[in-house]
Amino acid sequence: MLTAIDHLIIAVPDLEAAVKSYQGLGFAVMPGGRHTGIGTYNALIAFQDTAYLELIAFYEPRPDHRWWAPLQQGGGLVDFCLQTDDLAGDAAALRRAGIDMGEPEHRDRKRPDGFEVRWTFALPRAAHRGVAPFVITDRTPRDERVPRERRHPNGVTGVGTVVVAVDDIARVRGWYGAVLGQPGEAVRRPDLDAAGVRFAIGPHAFEFLAPAGPGGPLAAWLRTRGASPYAATLMTSGGPVGPLDEANTFGARLSLRA
């Protein structure tokens, strides 16, 4: 069963600069380490709701990597991962729903302290990246992969809602409805000139939205970036609310909400 957001991926061109910028926004940012053999390294922002943000960058060019092309288009939110208590079963369910899912793969990352974090995931292939989830299970304890520091000076406690821009609501509703066993809830977003469907996954929510007309921000996003994550709200227990400056989030549309 899909139980919650595991993490949201934010692709950045300069990891060290992104870490400093997010720290300036009031986040506790922890070093992640280098992924073995794929040219990436990361830093992590973990929350009390068990989800986290992954700031990821390339330490060498990797045009074959799934996040290389969206980084060249501006980076920011590029993908999302869901927690599962049955990776093989959920990957199979996603395939049956019509998603082009790859087979489970082992991955690892060496933290700066030398500890080797290991996990297994299943990824949707490129055509479905950023709209269909990838799913993950740990081979080392999850608290070794996810930082234990989960409190932040800005009061953020977790992820609220992720907005994903899509061009085919019926198809996406079919995918998630089949896997989650729920029809989803119709939603309208006049602020984005968009409408679509909302699904709850554990404590988190996703709004899959398509433009209602050609002139709104979601329509412009689809023309330039294609179907992919558009924005996310982060829940805060206190302090300022509202959108964060995209210059400081390296292109990620993030808003704080009480």
**Tokens 């974090």, residue?**
117
What per-residue confidence (pLDDT) applies to 238?
A: 82
What per-residue confidence (pLDDT) applies to 220?
A: 95
User: Tens digit of pLDDT for each residue in 191-216?
Assistant: 999 999 999 999 999 999 999 999 99
Name all domains of the chain by residue range, CATH numbers in brackets: 2-145 (3.10.180.10), 156-257 (3.10.180.10)
Q: Determine whether 88 is exposed, middle or buried from the number of CB atoms within 10 Å of its CB (0-12, 13-18, 19+).
A: middle
Rounded to an integer, the average pLDDT of 6-31 is 98
- Has residue 16 got a pLDDT over 90? yes
What per-residue confidence (pLDDT) applies to 34?
A: 96
Asked if residue 55 lies in contact with residue 42, where contact means CB atoms within 8 angstroms, the answer is yes
Structure-token pair, residue 147: 């930082």
Rounded to an integer, the average pLDDT of 82-104 is 97
Q: Which of 184, 214, 205, 211 is nearest to 257 (CA)?
A: 205
Q: How far apart are the first and last CA of the chain?
A: 29
**Tokens 């990352």, residue?**
109
pLDDT bucket at 240, cuts 50 / 70 / 90: confident
pLDDT bucket at 110, cuts 50 / 70 / 90: very high
Question: Alpha helix locations (H) across the chain?
Answer: 15-24, 68-72, 87-96, 142-145, 169-180, 217-225
Cα–Cα distance, 52 to 56 (Å, whole number): 12
Rounded to an integer, the average pLDDT of 56-85 is 97
pLDDT bucket at 104, cuts 50 / 70 / 90: very high
What per-residue confidence (pLDDT) applies to 126?
A: 87
- Has residue 109 got a pLDDT over 90? yes
User: Tens digit of pLDDT for each residue in 162-180?
Assistant: 999 999 999 999 999 999 9
User: Tens digit of pLDDT for each residue in 128-150?
Assistant: 999 999 999 999 999 999 999 99
Cα–Cα distance, 35 to 167 (Å, whole number): 33
What per-residue confidence (pLDDT) applies to 239?
A: 78
Mean pLDDT of the chain: 97
Rounded to an integer, the average pLDDT of 59-78 is 96
Rounded to an integer, the average pLDDT of 185-193 is 97
Cα–Cα distance, 35 to 39 (Å, whole number): 7
- Has residue 158 got a pLDDT over 90? yes
**Tokens 């061009």, residue?**
167
- What backbone torsions phi and psi does residue 65 show, to the nearest 5 degrees? -80, 145
Rounded to an integer, the average pLDDT of 152-169 is 97
